Amino acid sequence: MNKEGYKLLSSFIKFIIIALMVSDVIIMCSLPWTLQWLMNIFYEGNIAKMYAFYMVILYIFGILMLYILNELRVIFNSVEKTDPFILKNVTALKRISKASMATCIIFLVKIFVFNSLMTMVSLFIFFIASLFCIVLAEIFKKAVEYKNDHDLTI
């Protein structure tokens, strides 16, 4: 890929990550009102218990997503500025894996309280993402070791 194309793609990905982070914050700030509105539309009867449960779940989920997006931003910035094979990226990938596993636990709890097909799909996706990040972190760790060894021999 030529340099201009890489710069354009790089700028686009940065924009997407930051836009997602801003959207996450906006959604979390508006959550008390939007959740109440949506629950009044889709559910009948006493929704007080469901409302409290969903508020807790959605806020925890929102914070974890903000954390994952920030770690992706850190990885992307290091890839753009320097060599991608640094220990900082290995640590970031391990953190993303832990956050994805925490998200799996949240969805597992939700399955036992208020189950839905989307909850099960999300649980599966975040479980696979967690495993993927663990494997990718190990690959990056080996690459860092090889790079450091190569730098010492030259």
| Residue ranges covered by each domain of the chain | 3-153
| Helical spans, DSSP H, in 82-154 | 87-113, 117-153
List phi, psi (to 5°) of 128. Answer: -65, -40
119: its two tokens: 């909850």
pLDDT at residue 122 is higher than 70 = yes
What is the DSSP-derived secondary structure letter of residue 84? Answer: S
Q: Model-level pTM?
A: 0.88
- The residue type of 56 is V
Residue-level pLDDT at 19:
97
What are the backbone dihedrals phi and psi of residue 5, each rounded to the nearest 5 degrees, phi first? -65, -40
Could you report the per-residue pLDDT of 5-53, keeping only the tens digit for each? Answer: 666 777 788 899 999 999 999 999 999 999 999 888 887 777 777 898 9
